[in-house]
Structure 1
Amino acid sequence: MEKQREEGPLKKKLGLFDGAMLVMGSMIGSGIFIVSADIMRNLGSGYWLIVVWLITGVMTIAAAISYGELSSMFPKAGGQYTYLKEIFGKMMGFLYGWGLFTVIQTGTIAAVAVAFGKFTAYLVPALNDAAPIFQSGSYKITWIQILAIAVILLLTYINTKGVESGKWLQNIFTGSKIVALIGLIILGFLLVKSNFWTENMSLGWSAFNNLKTDSGGSFLKAGWESISGMTIMGGIAAAMVGSVFSSVAWENVTFVSGEIENPKKNVVRSMVLGTSVVMILYLLVNFVYLNTLSRDGIAFAPNDRVAVVVSEQIFGNGIGTIVMAILVMISTFGCVNGIVLAGARVFQTMAKDGMFFKSALDNNKNGVPEKSLWMQGVWASVLCLSGQYGNLLDMISFVIVLFYMITVFGVIYLRIKQPNLERSYKTWLYPITPIVYLLIGAAFCILLLIYKQQYTWPGLLIVLLGVPVYFYINRNKNAGAD
């Protein structure tokens, strides 16, 4: 037979190095090259820019360390979906899977693929200059969107050829972008003539301190003395939407636990190693931004592309743009591949539980869930055409953190409810590590609910729409049983 069912044993084709590269490759997309502009606009201080990235780093690594305990207890495909289902029941698992398919995984694939297309347009200006293929009012389909879809479908096809194909592609592209980022960091300190570090740090802890608009007017003339602590916390929460989004998707390695050698140990090692390396790189890249550009230069970089402006300062206008365009293309291409590779395994696991299309359960002759991959790829392509991927991703940072919090809480819940379960790995510094994540995550979510509701309710609504779908699926099951 050409096809095999998911129930058959999966071949362990991913080692520790592959897992770590999947973590890093899935995390590093286009965000680190862009979001620092928005963070600076929200807070207006080099110190606070660093604080936001430090908080995000602590959150990310604390979550990865906590997830490690669950990965050792449930070392099978499906990752976070499996953890939530096993701890809190099928509905919680389904709502996560529903959110993952409708927007979290597929929306990320679409947004990062479009970022690939936009930076390709630096090298091929005709992509930007070409008339839209279709336009009706404000809605339009551009060649950049078509290129994004082509990338999604190409990487989906490559991943249908087996884990080995996706693995080697992932390792090559992740290795390339890590080397390139390290090069950017080193050259950013060695070759830049104008040093703005002292100027940026002289602003001290004064948030919103006389930040200028791009037209030269005053953005907000206020210092620390006249701003309440809650206002600054609200600014931090709003600023963290970008840094959090740039730091998610590390949990993708848990989705492919069934294909990782010695998953009880290697999944947690991959997560902790991968997240730590990426967050250190992110922090160093932001040091380069602060060293190379003025505060307003960061805040009002054209199209928020801070890294492009920095690269132009390092290499000169023409070469700098090309260098950064190539780096972001490599980064986004590898990021899409990692997310494509991992996501389909969740939908396959959901299908096994009767929570997704039954055909997603099938493995092809290469031992991978081909139909699940294509379902994911087609829906991500639809989101590319919708033009709403950027808005959707702004909305879901809140939901992503909410699911992270529920999962991290699951570590504490299981320790209390089932203390005698086998745990080959236990969370470092328990209960401090999960509590730290829960406190920061709760503050982030509450502040967004207060100050930036446009980032919260829409994403929450998308997930809650899964509730009637869940009951509909189970109603059909019950009817079949009768």
Structure 2
Amino acid sequence: MQETHSFKPSLTLIDSTMLVAGSMIGSGIFIVSADITRNVGSAGWLMFVWVITGFMTLTAALSYGELSAMFPKAGGQYVYLKEAYNPLISFLYGWSFFTVIHTATIAAVGVAFAKFTAYIFPPFSEDNVLIDLGFLSISAAQLLSILVIVFLTFVNTRGVNSGKIIQTTFTLAKLLSLLGLIVFGLYALKPEVWSANWADAIIWDLHKLHPDGSTESYTTLAAFGAIAAAMVGSIFSSDSWHTVTFIAGEIKNPKKNIGLSLALGTLIVTAIYLLTNIMYTGVLSLQAIASADKDRVAVTASHVIFGNAGTVIIALMIMVSTFGCNNGLIMAGARVYYSMAKDGLFFRKVGQLNAKSVPGLALWIQCVLASIWSLSGKYGDLLDMISFVVVVFYMLTIAGIIILRKRLPDAPRPYKAVGYPVLPVIYILMGLAFCILLIIYKPNYTWPGLIITLTGIPVYFLIVKANSGKGKVTVEPSETE
């Protein structure tokens, strides 16, 4: 394949940091604390879930910095897995990433944008069914989601500079608006609510809290399962921090700036998430958090802070947040399919750049599948089901640092994982505990994602066989940069 265009390094450290933060912050922080509270039942355990998730995210990000400095090229995690293991492992990641992990996330964020748009413009409500075919109903919210996905895809096909302007602008706007919500929320803090939520007797009382206020005790082992189940939401809300590694070929001074942007972006978002949840416990009782209408905790809190205008304020914030989030997801994800195609593991033409030096066909194929997920209405269930697989691939990637340290001890490492080997090992152990607990107590969160991933095995060998028949050989790990 003759490459007529090449990636153009255009993203600065600020742009890269905004991509990390912007891809992380979607609609999750406004919603998932309700389910977490129902699972753990106390303010202390609510914060513990967010702290442990933040620790895992920061640890992973600091570890990925070493890999990004060693292999600063498009594809990110896909490339790291190939270099540390083999093309099959990296393909399984790319397969699950394309079929569900990334495209279903784009769909979910797109529909979240549409749902909150309906707060201001009711015709876009998900209850407004425009087409009913019996086996498929299409709402105004789903169509708006698809329009947004198509628009952002088009913008990103016009070059990386077009995408970065939207990304940086909208991420700064969402960070400032979240900070504003936190400040106004803490100003409106109710001492009696705060005291009740943080009373010594209940702060670490782990139990199930039902929306009607009734409680249910856990056995010791079931308590660990409840924590793991609660972390599904916080992990989803903190995911996609690694999207900046996918777009490494378009970042200025990538060996330095990718690692820095990972550290800065995840640190900023982790701090904001913790402060937001502290604010929730200052204005809402635990029961109010657990029983928030459709889990929209931020809307309930905003009503307390701003009165009737609160719904519109939060709706605007989530519209800005999800729009910017989807731009980052759309921009970065296509680079994974591009790298797979360059290895002969995806449609050949996906491995070509358009006249604007971006993988245009990869962007449009991603757009089509994300739009299909938007129409299906099943993206939410699938995202719960693939949390297990996402963490498994994170663990494999971080373990890859240890493998490459032994296999390539003299390879250039402009940046080294902070706290190596202690922090990477701690992450792997925590990830294993999370996955094992989900297998035991929430198997419905594990097997669907595993099945989707494992279906990639026969697909991989069919592709390799087809390539062999055409005289093409799948690219093997280079072990060098």
- Relative to structure 1, the CA distance from residue 208 to residue 158 in structure 2 (aligned partners, 3 Å threshold; closer, same or farther) is same
Aligned equivalents of 1:60 and 1:464: distance in 2?
A: 26
Match of residue 239, structure 1, among 227, 230, 237:
230
Partner of 1:419: 409
Contact 2:299/2:311 (8 A) holds in 1? yes
Amino acid paired to 1:406: L
Gapped runs of 5+ residues in structure 1? none
Q: Distance in 1 between matches of 2:172 and 2:336?
A: 26
The question of whether the paired residues in 2 share the 8 Å contact of 1:33 and 1:305 is answered with: yes
1:79 lines up with 2:76 in the alignment: yes
Structure 1 equivalent of residue 323 of structure 2: 333
Q: Shift of the alpha carbon at 1:219?
A: 3.9
Residue number among 465, 468, 475 corresponding to 2:458 in the alignment: 468
Q: In the TM superposition, what whole-angstrom CA distance separates every residue of 1:342-368 from its partner, at most 9, and x where no partner exists?
A: 001111111111111111122111111
Listed as ranges, the matches of 1:135-146 within 5 Å are 135-136=132-133, 139-146=136-143
Residue 376 of structure 2: aligned partner: 386
1:437 to 1:7, Cα distance in 2 relative to 1, 3 A: farther
| Contact map agreement 1:192 1:313 (CA 8 A) in 2 | no
Matched, 1:316 2:291: no
Contact 2:73/2:247, CA 8 A, preserved across alignment: yes
CA contact under 8 A between 1:91 and 1:470: conserved in structure 2? yes
Residue 284 of structure 1: aligned partner: 275
Which whole-Å CA distance do the structure 2 matches of 1:265 and 1:83 have between them?
A: 17
Distance in 2 (alpha carbons) for counterparts of 1:273 and 1:188: 25
Counterpart position of 1:208: 207
Residues 5, 361 of structure 1: 8 Å contact kept: no
Alpha carbons of 1:194 and 1:321: their partners in 2 closer, same or farther (altered >3 Å)? farther
Asked if 1:410 is matched to 2:396, the reply is no
Say if 1:75 and 1:258, in contact at 8 Å, map to a contact too.
Answer: yes
1:435 is aligned, of 425, 439, 451, to 425
The answer for the alignment partner of 2:470 in structure 1 is 480
How many angstroms apart in 2 are the aligned matches of 1:403 and 1:118? 31
Which of 199, 221, 237 pairs up with 1:230? 221
Amino acid in structure 2 at the alignment position of 1:455: Y
Residue aligning to 1:39: 36
- Residue matched to 1:99: 96
Amino acid paired to 1:159: N
Q: CA deviation at 1:134?
A: 2.5
Aligned residue number for residue 27 of structure 1: 24
Work out whether 1:456 is the aligned partner of 2:475.
no
Contact 2:123–2:140 (8 Å) recurs in 1: no
* Preserved CA contact (<8 Å) 1:45 1:200: yes
Question: In structure 2, do the counterparts of structure 1 residues 201 and 193 end up closer, same or farther at CA, with 3 Å as the change threshold?
Answer: closer
* 1:338 aligned partner, one-letter code: G
- 1:166-185 alignment to 2 at 5 Å? 166-185=163-182
SS in structure 2 of the partner of residue 133 of structure 1: strand
Q: Distance in 2 between matches of 1:8 and 1:233?
A: 52
Where do 4+ consecutive residues of structure 1 move more than 6 Å?
none
Distance in 2, matches of 1:242 and 1:465, equals: 26
* Alignment TM-score, normalising by the size of structure 2: 0.95
Q: Hey, what's the Cα distance between the residues in 2 that align with 1:381 and 1:208?
A: 39
Offset, 1:253? 0.1
Could you list the per-position Cα deviations for residues 57-89 of structure 1 after superposition, in whole angstroms to 9, with x for gaps in the alignment? 000000001111111110111100000011111
| Structure 2 residue identity aligned to 1:151 | V
Give the Cα–Cα distance (whole angstroms) in 1 for the partners of residues 3 and 439 of structure 2.
Answer: 41
**Structure 1 residues 47 and 154: alpha-carbon distance in aligned structure 2, compared to 1, 3 A threshold:** same
Q: How far apart are residue 332 of structure 1 and its match? A: 0.2
Paired residue for 2:265, among 265, 271, 274?
274
Q: 2:185 — aligned with what?
A: 188
Q: Deviations over 1:415-458 (max 9, x none)?
A: 12221211111111110110111011111000000000011000
Equivalent residue of 1:141, what SS?
strand
Distance 2:191 2:141 in 1: 35
Cα distance in 2, alignment partners of residues 160 and 290 from structure 1: 43
Partner of 1:63: 60
Q: What stretches of structure 2 of length at least 5 have no aligned partner?
A: 473-481
Residue in 1 aligned with 2:293? 302
Return closer, same or farther for 1:299/1:142 CA change in 2, 3 Å cut-off. Answer: same
Q: For residue 159 of structure 1, what is the aligned residue in structure 2?
A: 156
Residues 365 and 212 (structure 1 numbering): CA distance in 2 closer, same or farther, change over 3 Å? closer
What residue is the counterpart of 1:361 in the other structure? 351
More displaced stretch, 401-410 vs 124-133:
124-133
Inter-CA distance 322–368: structure 2 relative to 1 (3 Å threshold): same
Alpha carbons 2:115, 2:126 under 8 Å: kept: no
In the alignment, is the contact (CA less than 8 A) between 1:29 and 1:331 conserved in 2?
yes
Q: 2:477 aligns to what?
A: none
Distance, in Å, in 1 between the alignment partners of 2:85 and 2:9 is 28
Shift in Å, 1:8: 4.5
Q: Between 138-147 and 467-476, report the one with greater CA deviation.
A: 138-147
Q: Distance in 1 between matches of 2:258 and 2:127?
A: 45
RMSD: 1.5
- Percent same amino acid among aligned pairs? 53
AA matched with 1:438: I
**Following the alignment from structure 1 to structure 2, what is the Cα–Cα distance between the partners of residues 58 and 249?**
15
- C-alpha displacement of 1:27: 0.2
Q: Does 1:48 align with 2:38?
A: no
